[in-house]
Amino acid sequence: MMEFFKKCPFFSKYTKESSNLIQNISKCPFASQANFSNQNQIRSMHNECPFIKQIKRNYSTLPEFKGEKEGCPFSNFIRNKIPEVSVQVVAETKNVCPFKHLAVVQGKVEEQLDIPPPTSIPKSSLSNQISSLVETQTPTQKKTPAKETYEIFFSNALDKVRNEGRYRVFRNMTRQCGQYPKTHGETIVWCSNDYLGMGQHPVVLQAIQEAVSQCGAGSGGTRNIAGTNKFHLKLEAELADLHGKESSLLFANCYSANVAAISTIVQLIPGLTLFSDAKNHASLIDGIRTSRANKEVFKHNDLKHLEELLSKYDKKAPKMIIFESVYSMDGTVGPIEGICDLAQKYNALTFIDEVHAVGLYGERGAGIAERDGVMHRLDIISGTLAKAFGVYGGYISSSNNIIDAVRSYAPGFIFTTALPPSVTAGALASVRHLKSSKIERQTHQRKAKELKKLLKENGLPVLDTSTHIVPLMIGDPILCKKMSDRLLEKFNIYVQPINYPTVPVGTERFRLTPSPVHTDEMMRSLVVALCQLWDEFGLPRNRGVAAV
Ligand SMILES: Cc1ncc(COP(=O)(O)O)c(C=O)c1O
């Protein structure tokens, strides 16, 4: 809370001098005039007062603030932060300036306002706070106020993401089968990972419908206890064949496949050191953390640095290199062959995530490793059935022994319900279709190239990638969100802002995903809309190709 006041240029002058916040509040020319039940007044004043701007940013609901009915947003804030004073404050501050009412509880408020951000709350101070609350309560009050105190952690954490402009708002983008990339009537989706439109492909839909008629809805259990059906077995065989490996293992999704596989491999190889690319996906990092293995992080795609790190270890010491083929936010491609050469030289296993490449690259859609003729050199390949294959699920493909060991030891595989038959049947149809049909892959690549060319020609800051990923750089989380909102409101175009932690702070962006079902006309309209948006927001154009 004190952090909040410190942001006000007026208050920040006083907070150091005096510990009495209430006195300082009454000196503030803004606060002494403000009538918090008058929205119009707040709106006109927030243009001038940096403090009220801050309040408005923190309270996305302020425009809907209904004065008396909902109470003042400030006192609501107090109520969340300091439960035991809320009874006195909130009840009396319905229509009046909450700053005056703080005076009612002078001292007490001052003591507790200075709540540090969630990560730095000293455990002891919090437990004192909680226990003193519990002790001072009558039996009938018990439970609720103490529970509200725990809420502080959550409201602080939420304030933090709101203040940093990266509070995530989920848009309802219900897909309409057969209409993709259109959704919600005329809105065009430009950020879906259904890269090829397989989520509505007739072959996939028919397989799903038949599986539902045949087997019903759920799988009925874990793979070990009544949950395995013929579609699991066929799909695992199909994926092993796709990647030229002996076996495959299905998971609920590739996030859990990565976590379970990495942590289990570490568990089974004593002393294994992991070498991880700096831009690896959260699921790979989670797997590495969960494993608690010794790890080294090499600079993104930097073979020289990787070798430096590998060479620190005894040649005989067990090692595994973990990396991706297509990095989904920047569109870079892992140097697979170079990594395999180093793995051979330093006696390391290789674990590659081909999530953004399966279905999309290679003769039969097995990914970049297939395209580059190096699939046989990789030890473990992970992939998803939810992006280019358009359905759901994740998997790993590898040798019989590795797959069987993960199957036998990974809690994330053993103790969870198997994928439903409809999902596995749909994914099976999709994998089979894309093994033989190349038209989707070819059109996809052509569309991505065309879009990048159009964006460049119009001076929009697109990253020059060699893949289907089209990142359009903005570099500010709040701007990114505002521009995304504007695109939807004005042009009926949906592109979700990509903010930290998905990308580093300062590299916020749109990530455009053209697909074979986006028409040329849609593409032109997108670029026209983006140009207008760039001009409206006063952003420079013609600054050449962007850099991360
Ligand atoms: C590189 C990478 N690996 C793994 C995953 C997780 O895949 P899934 O969506 O199947 O859980 C993602 C998801 O976006 C990803 O980008």
pLDDT of residue 89: 44
| pLDDT band at residue 376 under the 50/70/90 scheme | very high
Whether the Cβ atoms of residue 281 and residue 328 lie closer than 8 Å to each other: yes
Quick one: angle between helices 73-81 and 144-163, nearest 10? 120
Pocket test for ligand 1, best of 255, 256, 279 (most atoms within 8 A of CB): 255
pLDDT of residue 79: 52
Residues whose CB falls within 8 Å of the CB of residue 109, separated by 6 or more in sequence, listed in order: 21, 22, 78, 82, 85, 89, 102
pLDDT-wise least confident of 116-120, 239-243, 297-301: 116-120
The finding on whether 273 has its CB within 6 A of some atom of ligand 1 is no
Determine the average pLDDT of the residues in 148-160: 87
pLDDT at 297 > cutoff 50:
yes
Q: With 0-12 CB in 10 A as exposed, 13-18 as middle and 19+ as buried, what is 244?
A: middle
pLDDT of residue 19: 45
pLDDT at 449 > cutoff 70:
yes
Condensed to tens digits (0 to 9), the pLDDT of residues 382-419 reads 999 999 999 999 999 999 999 999 999 999 999 999 99
pLDDT of residue 546: 61
Condensed to tens digits (0 to 9), the pLDDT of residues 304-326 reads 999 999 999 999 999 999 999 99
The finding on whether 255 has its CB within 6 A of some atom of ligand 1 is yes
- Active-site residue 387, yes or no? yes
Condensed to tens digits (0 to 9), the pLDDT of residues 527-544 reads 999 999 999 999 998 755
Atom of ligand 1 nearest to the CA of 393: 10
Residues whose CB falls within 8 Å of the CB of residue 484, separated by 6 or more in sequence, listed in order: 495, 496, 497, 510
pLDDT of residue 28: 54
Determine the average pLDDT of the residues in 435-464: 97
Percentage, residues of the chain above pLDDT 90: 65
283 Cα: distance to centroid of ligand 1 (angstroms): 7
Condensed to tens digits (0 to 9), the pLDDT of residues 14-33 reads 444 444 444 555 455 555 55
Say what the alpha-carbon torsion angle 238, 243, 247, 249 is, to the nearest 10 degrees: -80
The catalytic residue among 387, 447, 452, 481 is: 387
pLDDT of residue 328: 95
The finding on whether 192 has its CB within 6 A of some atom of ligand 1 is no
Determine the average pLDDT of the residues in 58-68: 38
Atom of ligand 1 nearest to the CA of 385: 10
The finding on whether 277 has its CB within 6 A of some atom of ligand 1 is no
pLDDT of residue 282: 96
Whether the Cβ atoms of residue 366 and residue 325 lie closer than 8 Å to each other: no
pLDDT of residue 63: 35
Distance, CA of 97 to CA of 287 (rounded, Å)? 51
**Residue 111 to residues 128, 193, 265, 285, 326: CA-CA distances in angstroms?**
13, 50, 51, 40, 52
pLDDT of residue 544: 55
pTM: 0.76
255 Cα: distance to centroid of ligand 1 (angstroms): 5
Whether the Cβ atoms of residue 71 and residue 133 lie closer than 8 Å to each other: no
Which residue puts its alpha carbon closest to atom 1 of ligand 1?
Answer: 281
Determine the average pLDDT of the residues in 509-537: 96
pLDDT at 267 > cutoff 60:
yes
pLDDT at 1 > cutoff 50:
no
The finding on whether 254 has its CB within 6 A of some atom of ligand 1 is yes
pLDDT at 458 > cutoff 70:
yes
CA geometry: angle 231, 232, 238, nearest 5 deg: 85
354 Cα: distance to centroid of ligand 1 (angstroms): 9
Determine the average pLDDT of the residues in 150-172: 88
222 or 43: which leads in pLDDT: 222
The finding on whether 355 has its CB within 6 A of some atom of ligand 1 is yes
Condensed to tens digits (0 to 9), the pLDDT of residues 421-437 reads 999 999 999 999 999 99
109 Cα: distance to centroid of ligand 1 (angstroms): 46
